[in-house]
Amino acid sequence: MQEAVPTSLFIITVNSLIGFAADQHQFIADDWSHLAKYLAPAFFGMLMGLYIAKFIQGKILKKAFGYFVWVVGIAILTKEFIL
């Protein structure tokens, strides 16, 4: 599990960089401040997640991630269909 966390983060990073590079011609200077609002917390969360993954067993991480995905899914469905 400890190899899966950095590998997943690397794949997400590469995927995001490819998407960013593909649309760079539409990117304007004002978007950098907007982008920074998301990059700073994401980077902090990545570092925090890597640190926490060293101390929590893989079985617990899997279960917690499953619950997290379930809660996010319910929140998205609620937002789209009820609110």
pLDDT of the chain, 83 residues: tens digit per residue: 667 777 887 888 888 888 877 777 776 666 677 777 888 888 898 899 888 888 888 888 889 889 999 999 999 999 999 87
Domain total in the chain: 1
Residue 19, domain extent: 4-81
What pLDDT is attached to residue 38? 83
**Contact indicator for 6, 50 with CB cutoff of 8 Å:** yes
Tokens of 1: 């599990």
- Total count of residues recorded for the chain: 83
First to last CA, the chain: 37
* pLDDT at residue 56 in the model: 87
CA–CA distance, 14 with 18 (Å, rounded to integer): 6
